[in-house]
Structure 1
Amino acid sequence: MSLQLPARSSERLRIDTSLAIVNIVLLLIFFFLVAGQETRPPHDISLARTSQLAPSNLPSPLLQIRSEEDWLLDGQPILPDLLAAALSESDEVLHLVIDKEADANLLIKVLDHPELVNRDVRLVTLREGPAQ
């Protein structure tokens, strides 16, 4: 007795990947539509401003930079060339205040001064509000 099995077909069972590819493409399209949208900040954001400061609340030594040649060290005017002599007696951290509207190059020039290269410099931000 012999059994006759059906002949093998030359075509193998193929998995249709087109549906998966379409799903991936659609997901990518949705992702880029959402990620590509510009986010706009609310119009009512305002940056903090300080109008008056109590000198007792400020850290020391404090270097205020108003312009390239207008510097104050602890409230006293100082020339940039004399900063090394003024800071020689102090090895503490130097606190630096600069206007938020100042050019970034000004800050870079200040930090490149030889007197400040090996010194810890901390940027100080001033908050608007009632003096405490």
Structure 2
Amino acid sequence: MTISLPPPRPRIHIDVSLAIVNIVLLLIFFFLVTGQTQPIELGKVELSQTSELPLDKLPKPLLLVSTEGDWLLDGQPISPDLLGVALDALPQPVTLNILMNRDAPAEMLVDVLNRPELAGRDLRVVTLRFRDGGT
């Protein structure tokens, strides 16, 4: 006696290629639409600038490094070699705020940050916001 089993049902294969094509087309359309911007004319870009430096409103202690290489700690001239001694004299812990001109070369900021007097200290780079009207 032989028992015959019913033939196996054909497996249903889900075709995902149409969904993948739709997703790819949607992504292409998205990047085409969002990528079309107006080119910026260099003459219209205005960088911020500081016309007056209100030292009393800035955080303390503030190390102001000029592009000429002059250092001011809270408005007083200081030698870079004496910075560590001056910071040790302040109430601890000290977070030193560093302010540099925006036109200063990046190497100058890197050189200041790599000074051995500043190793292990909390540092913060301070920026100034320019507002029309002088305030």
State TM-score, norm by structure 1: 0.67
Q: Which amino acid in 1 is paired with 2:103?
A: E
Corresponding residue of 1:89: 89
Q: Report how many aligned residue pairs link the two structures.
A: 123
Corresponding residue of 1:118: 120
Whose Rg is larger?
Answer: 1
User: What is the Cα deviation at residue 50 of structure 1?
Assistant: 2.0
State TM-score, norm by structure 2: 0.65
Alignment check: 8 A CA contact 1:94 1:121 kept? yes
1:49 and 2:49 correspond: yes
1:23 and 2:22 correspond: yes
Alpha-carbon distance in 2 for matches of 1:25, 1:88: 60
Identity over aligned pairs, percent: 52
Gaps in structure 2 of 5+ consecutive residues: 1-6
1:30/1:70 Cα in 2 relative to 1: closer, same or farther (>3 Å)?
Answer: same
SS state at 2:50 partner: coil
Q: 1:44-93 CA deviation, whole Å, 9 max, x = no partner?
A: 55333222233432332211111373211122222212212222201322
Between stretches 95-104 and 55-64, larger displacement belongs to: 55-64
User: What is the Cα deviation at residue 118 of structure 1?
Assistant: 1.7
Coordinate RMSD, CA, aligned: 3.3
Alpha-carbon distance in 1 for matches of 2:12, 2:125: 68
Alignment check: 8 A CA contact 1:68 1:106 kept? no
Corresponding residue of 2:129: 127
Alpha-carbon distance in 1 for matches of 2:98, 2:27: 47
SS state at 2:83 partner: helix
Alpha-carbon distance in 2 for matches of 1:107, 1:56: 23
Alpha-carbon distance in 1 for matches of 2:66, 2:28: 50
Alpha-carbon distance in 2 for matches of 1:27, 1:54: 52
Alpha-carbon distance in 1 for matches of 2:59, 2:11: 80
Between stretches 37-46 and 115-124, larger displacement belongs to: 37-46
